[in-house]
Every structure is written in structure tokens, then in C-alpha cells.
Chain A
Amino acid sequence: MSCNEDPELAAALERAQVTRRNFLATATVAAAAVATGCGNHGAVWEEYFQQHYKRLTDDDKRAIFARLEDEVRRRRGLRVHISDPAPMRGVEYGYALNLSACVGCRRCEYACAAENNTSRDPEVHYIKVLQMESGSIDVERSDSRYEGPVPAPGHFYMPVQCHQCRDAPCVKACPVGATWTEPDGITVVDYNWCIGCRYCEAACPYFARRFNFSEADIRPSEINPDQGYLSNRARPAGVVEKCTFCLHRVRRGEYPACLEACPTGARKFGNLLDPESEVRQVIDHKRVYVLHEEAGTAPRFYYFFD
């Protein structure tokens, strides 16, 4: 079984190399800054004219990751590592959620926030757990601000997050192509390309997208340093972000953070193209349903009861 070992090893090696390279780069930049007395104006312009993610070469990406890592180090005094694992061939991610098992503990919400470095104030959660009334799957009769002991009698719980649609309305809506669906089915945002018009938020039937009304407020000690360029790296103010199924984890073979945090095993994740994967087993053997199927978005996220 090489698949989950090799990338990790490679990532570790890369991390080591990148650290060294960054050290040199930082030293060079620092020397240049001292010599010219011009601070980081170059970086500002570089960022302003940065091209769309899909037009970047590998060299461009390396320089950008280094710049971003350097920025976090300067501003937050923290060493982070930004990676950009490529999608795997023959893989299309899917998610299934067992509504009979979910007890509404919100562990997934907080694990997601910790993993993805979402803002703590205002508090941004990609996942919303809805407390539903028995006898109805009408979300309008749900409550997401419930408290008190769970599972409450007469209720069931339905966590909602990005459904990674096959025909994603957010992707259609974006006027600048700043959000798109990757070959493995994950819809991502280029945080350096988004203009912040929030048309995608209006288009999404799942309340999956979040806007950075201000820059993420998060203590350096709580920042997860393992970062993906298209997922949980620092987002500037004024752009949209979203759940990426923890792209930086799942492309290394790991499970998303929400799944690992779930104490009831309600969350199932895997490769939709692999008949042996848990998510395919659910679709093949259970009766699944799709939220707001009438919107025609063809999600890769399924709910089921057992």
C-alpha cells in the first residue's frame, strides 16, 4: 500500500526543502529591503498583478507560496507550510451522511473551523448542523442555534456543508472564474482572484459559501500550519471561501477533519469511482436522498437513514 505513504514522505521532504529555500529567500529579500529601504512594495505589486491560479506555472506557484508563507511569518510570527497537492486520476470525491446516526453534537463544525483556519470573530463555520423536526425534512422548520442536551426527543440532526455540486451554480455565477470545480470534484476558490461580489453566495442553494467581511481573526497559536493553497491558507478580507472537503488532507489520502471528529460514524467519505469505497457502499446499498435536488445542482453529497 504505497498511496498513503509516498505522498506523506514526499510532502515531508518537500517541507524540509521549502524551509531551506525560504530561509534563503527571506534572507535575500530582507537584505534587499534593507539596502533599498523600500519594504515590501514589490510584493504588493506582485500580488496585485498575480494571474489566475490556472495560468500559474509551477515556478509561479513556488514563488507565491513562499511569499505567502513569508507574509504569515512576518505578520503573525508563525511558520506555516503551504502546499498544493494535485488531484489524483480516477478519483471523484463524494460524501454521505447518516442522519440516523448524527446526534447533533457539533464536533464537526468546530473541527472544521480548527482545520481550515476560519475566522473566530466573526465566527465562520463552513458546517451548519440543523436540528430538524421529526416528520419533516423542511429546513425552514429547523433550528441551527439549538442548545441543551442532544439528541433531543422529537428531532433529528442534519449537518449541511458544501455539496460539491456536479453542476455548481456558484461556478456558473462567478463573473471572473475565481471559483471552479477541480477534476476530482472539489469546488475551490482562488482567494487572490475573487472580486468579492457575492453572486456565488446568492446562487448557492446550500448556504455553503462564506464571505470574509473582515480579515480572519484567529490567534496564531490556533492557526493550523498545514495549509493548502486552494483550501485553508490565510484568506484576505473581501473574498469568498468555502468547504473544500479539506482538499489539502484528502488529496494526501486522509479523511476530512469533520469526518475524523464525528463520534458517531455518521460521516462517510471516499472515491465515488471506487465501488469499494464507503461512500459508494452507502449509495449502492442504502436509500439515499439529495438536499434541494430540485435545484438541479447534482451534488456529490448524499444523506441517508439506516
Chain B
Amino acid sequence: MLALTALLIVGLAIGFFILSRAKAISVSQGALANLHSRPSYHGTYVMLWVVIVGLALLLVLMLGGNAYLDAKFLGDIRAALPDARDIEIDLVLSDVKAIAAGLVSSRIDPLREATAIDFATADAVRIWATVAISLGGALLAGVLGMRQISAEWRARNRSERIIVGILWLSAAVAVLTTLGIVLSLIFETFNFFASIGWRVDKFLFGTRWSPLSGVQDGMMDMDKVGAVPLFAGTLMITGIAMLVAVPIGLFAAIYLSEFASPKVRLWAKPMLEILAGIPTVVYGFFAAITVAPFIRNAGEAIGLSVASESALAAGIVMGVMIIPFISSLSDDVINAVPQSLRDGSYGLGATKAETIRQVVLPAALPGIVSAILLGVSRAIGETMIVVMAAGQGANLTANPLEAVTTVTVQIVMLITGDTEASTAAGPAFTLAFTLFCITLALNIFALRFVRKYREKYD
């Protein structure tokens, strides 16, 4: 119904475009040169107003109407069931909606049925009012806009200003996204810290992580929310990943940009790109089904006991995932080192290897460091590989053959677990906020680092 209204508004706008264009032509008295703006711009101007007014009204009424109805009927149900808990009232309301929509509800009783009839009526009124008001508003905007049309009317400048405004809004979506992320994370983080009595130190430095086991009356046991094992596990897996990715990625980049023949580059570069394009869930499956059992068997063959969800397996596969990231970024910065530096070095009699080690790499170092930092930031935020191949229990250990858990694994477990969403959200969002801050800091630091130490050659 409401989607149809949106379509109707768009149709109305197209109609007004045609009408306004025709009116502009007739106003020009046969010579289009008499107009300030071409007829299409007159049409566009009116059309933009119709769409903007219509859709804005629709959106506001839709959200507002819904919220108003929910609030009103929640109040009604509460009045009818004074002793019920909030969650029961919510359930009654969703049942009422289900009955009104002709769907299956969890229970049927006189209160639900009576309210459902009221609700159906109110809902119909809401929908028709929304449709009527938004269509009416759009129509009004169109009529008012058309009345402006005259030979002197600066329709092009005005419609261009509106369009640039829309472009600006699109760009501002990025800011809204950041704002949304920060606000939603901070809100739940505050709730969580409030539920452990603002002992943030217990979260940052405690060593026991089992947040859902000590919940009582919305308060959490502050001795069970220590995230150190998660940080340590994340750090270990990230460390292993970087031990794999940095040497391989860096040497591959050096070889490809300095030694490789065009032919080798022709197949080696796409190969690295394929590695970069493989979804992380595939890496996770590879880690869990192929690499972890292999490491376990290899370890047992030489007499080591290896957990089947060892940090080593997840770390190695994550390293493979990050290789193309490091190699392509390093490749770019190595290629950006001007040829004149190399030529100068060769002229002094240095070999290729000496030139690379003593001239090219130092010149490219800031870029390489930033590539590594960005790689670390990706490894920390990576989820699927660790969810599928790393452990789930918080385990504080320095042994890479044991199972450790990471921040991202815990977020997934908390959100997808059986615990009530409102309880699990606190620790999950707090972990996500920590993750967000760390990756943000790494990024900003990486960019700053490049900007500060980069040598400018031209």
C-alpha cells in the first residue's frame, strides 16, 4: 500500500514534469529563447518539489504513525492488564497485530480479539491518512510550483541548487553512518558499564570472561567480564597471521616490482588478486576442514598435543588472506619510488639487491609500515575465519597450539546465542566498540605515519 503510494508520487511527479514543460513552452510564446531556463528545467524544478514533499511526508507519517499507534495500544493494553510485565504487554501487542493482519498469534483471548478489531480500524485510518496527506502534499507542491512558471523564472538555477543539495546529502550519509555506528555502540557500552558499576578496569584488565553466567537483575558479575583473554587471543592470532603475511607479502611485492619479467607478473598478479577476492567464509571452511586437522595430525606425529581449534590454524589461514593485501599495497609504494633513485644507486656500482635493500626499501618504508598496520587492522576485525576455526572458550595461554578465542568470535557468540538480546547486547556492543576504536586508531596512525615520513620526490 505504502510502496504503491511512493510509486504514485513518482508518477505524479512525472505528470507534473510534462505539464510544467508544456506550460513553459506555452509561456514562451513560440520562441524558446524568451525563457530564462529551458522548458525541461521548469519541468525538473516542479518534479523535484513534488517528489521531495511527497516522499518526505510519506516517510514522516509512516514512522510517526507507527510509533503513535504502538504507544497508544501499549497504553490501552497496560490499562487492561495492570499487573503484566513489559515483555508480556509487548507479546500481546504483537499478537494483536498478527490477529489484525489475519496471521497466526501465540494465543487468542477476548482482550486480544477486541484490541485487534480496534487496531485494525486505527491502522486502516493511519494508512489512508498517510496516503491522502502525502499525495495531497505532493499535489499541492506541484500546483504551487507550476504557478511560479514564467519567462523570467530561474528554474535551472533553482533546480540545480536542489540537486546539489541532494548530492551533498548523499555525501553526508557517510557521516550519518559513522554517527550511527558510534551512537549505537556507545549507548550499549554505557549500559554495559553501568551494569558492572562503572568498573571499566575490570573489563580492560580482568582475566575471566564469562559475562552471561553471572547476570542478576540486570547487573553483571564484574569479576566475569575481564576481556584480557579475548585481547590476548586476538593478539596471538593476529601475530601468527602477520608472521605469515608480512614476509610472504613483502618478498612477493619486491620480486614482482623489481625482478619479475612481465610474463611472470602477468599471471602472479591476478593470482594474488584471486586470493584477495575469496570470501572469508571460504577461508574459514578451509581452515576448519583442511588446515586444522593437518596441523593436528602433524603435531601428533611429532608428539605434540594440538587442539583441534588451534590458534595456529586460524592464524596461518588468516595470514594467507592478508598476503595479497600487504603485497599489493607494498607493490604500489615500491613502484612509487622514482627510477632516478635506482639509477643513481646503480651508477655508484651497487647491485640490484643492494639498491633494493639500501635505497628502495628505506624510501618505501613509511608506505610499507602503513600497509602492515592496515593488515593488522584487518586481521583484528576479521570474523569468519576465527568463528569457524578458532576456539569459543576464553582461554588465557601463550601456546599457539591451544584453542584461544577472539573479540569477534565472542561478539558473534553473544549475538547469535540463546540469551535474551537485551542482556547479550551489552558485552557484545562493548567489545565491538573496543574493536572499532582499535581499528580506527590503527588507520589514523597508519595514515599519519605515511604523511609524516613520506619523502616527496617531485
**Do A and B come together as binding partners?**
no
